[in-house]
Structure 1
């Protein structure tokens, strides 16, 4: 009788929001419009949209999406290292505050709170980087206000951090789903030939599934080389689109999806 018990479970959701205290971080969220001959760069919300599309393409067995996930993950790690290096510089400056002086956190009395609906793990990694940059900017402004750094140093470090994030987002702008699957690529179908002409060749280790981002979705098919990707146990796995509730929209048409179950 217990086996006949029906559980009418709803979807799993977690309410999330990002709090920003500085105009510098807010501008990174919104991106940069084309002006004075500079190219348009998407903001964090646009980056999240691209990562959602990239993950979905990887779910559909697009080998180019897998290659792009590795490329973006590498860029995320280098961006994180850049912001960490900037943080170490400002921490060193703030360490010069005498023990007799107590300084609290430099917080905005009216911060902006932005709702987050993120489906791709690489999108979350960028959210953490923007939060780190916001914290960096707050500390830099405090250090300048208390005469620990001069204005030139303030502007230089702020620009360095902003450049690192915008470089990441600019790279993501180049992603385009190929529309082909691994079988198409291996069979040299007309669509795969067009994809090769447009995007180049897929590295062999990406094609056979031995080189994949740890955040890549399970492969829909057994890798051609017989190499099992950790977590798939050699089984063909397909994550259907029905597992996602694609009803949330954030700015700049950044459609996102939230898993309806931990495992569908």
Structure 2
């Protein structure tokens, strides 16, 4: 029997997701928006996912600064999920006080998006965007039946948008400078450049440098050939008395 060759092996796995958005705010949060004289800029999920991909690749290549940012992103997304769930519960409880059975409703022409994000965190953010879309639908429904007024509705919608933009901004500040833990250990010029470029005022936490603290969905770190073939350090033991 002939041995297997590369042609008999399956290629890399590829996944795709789709979601339906009903509010114009959620669509804007996905695509983003450039700043104009009338409107503020919106950081979109598509830009966030691109940054996440770069950070994820750098973390795979042993960049401790990328690991630092992945932890920051992980925390931001988990906090956002909790807030969205809590808000949804609060507004659902408010709707239950109405004598009218509220149908959350939806757009007459929802936008269906197809995505193929490679990063787990980009897909988590996509799920949060759908939660935000559902939450805003609930808020609009409450305004429609008079449970909240227009001013409160606009205030709550703004709060949801602000929270989502803040989550997407968690990836800001990282700069790829082809650095790894060896650079940090040896305090190379590249290390100093990275530290200044990313505006760090203190050293990275020891737990990040020794890899004991990493984000829940951080990628595997590629093995450094220098570590494989590095000769073990000689230890000088004490002589017996």
TM-score (norm 2): 0.83
Q: What is the root-mean-square deviation in Å for CA atoms of aligned residues? A: 2.3
- Go from structure 1 to structure 2 and tell me whether the alpha carbon gap of 1:180 and 1:116 turns closer, same or farther (over 3 Å shift): same
- 2:115 maps to 116
CA distance in 1, matches of 2:142, 2:40: 32
- 1:166 maps to 165
- Go from structure 1 to structure 2 and tell me whether the alpha carbon gap of 1:148 and 1:40 turns closer, same or farther (over 3 Å shift): closer
201-210 or 24-33, larger mean C-alpha shift: 24-33
CA distance in 2, matches of 1:208, 1:150: 53
- 2:16 maps to 15
CA distance in 2, matches of 1:106, 1:210: 47
CA-to-aligned-CA distance 1:145-184 (integer Å, 9 cap, x gap): 1122211221111111111011122232322223211111
Q: Secondary structure at the match of 1:4?
A: coil
Aligned residue among 216, 219, 223 for 2:218: 216
CA distance in 1, matches of 2:38, 2:69: 28
- What is the aligned residue count? 221
Q: Secondary structure at the match of 1:115?
A: strand
81-90 or 101-110, larger mean C-alpha shift: 101-110
**Deviation, structure 1 residue 186:** 0.8
CA distance in 2, matches of 1:153, 1:13: 43
Query: 2:64 aligned with 1:63, yes or no?
Result: yes
CA distance in 2, matches of 1:36, 1:150: 28
- 2:206 maps to 204
**Deviation, structure 1 residue 17:** 1.5
- 1:76 maps to 77
Pairing of 1:98-247 with structure 2 (within 5 A): 98=99, 101-199=100-198, 200=200, 201-221=203-223
Contact 1:63 1:206 in 2 (8 A): yes
Write 1 or 2 for the structure with the bigger share of helix: 2
TM-score (norm 1): 0.76
**Deviation, structure 1 residue 35:** 3.4
117-126 or 187-196, larger mean C-alpha shift: 187-196
Structure with max Cα Rg: 2
- 1:229 maps to none
- 1:250 maps to none
- Gaps of at least 5 residues in structure 1 are 223-234, 237-264
- Go from structure 1 to structure 2 and tell me whether the alpha carbon gap of 1:83 and 1:198 turns closer, same or farther (over 3 Å shift): same
Q: Secondary structure at the match of 1:114?
A: strand
Q: Secondary structure at the match of 2:34?
A: coil
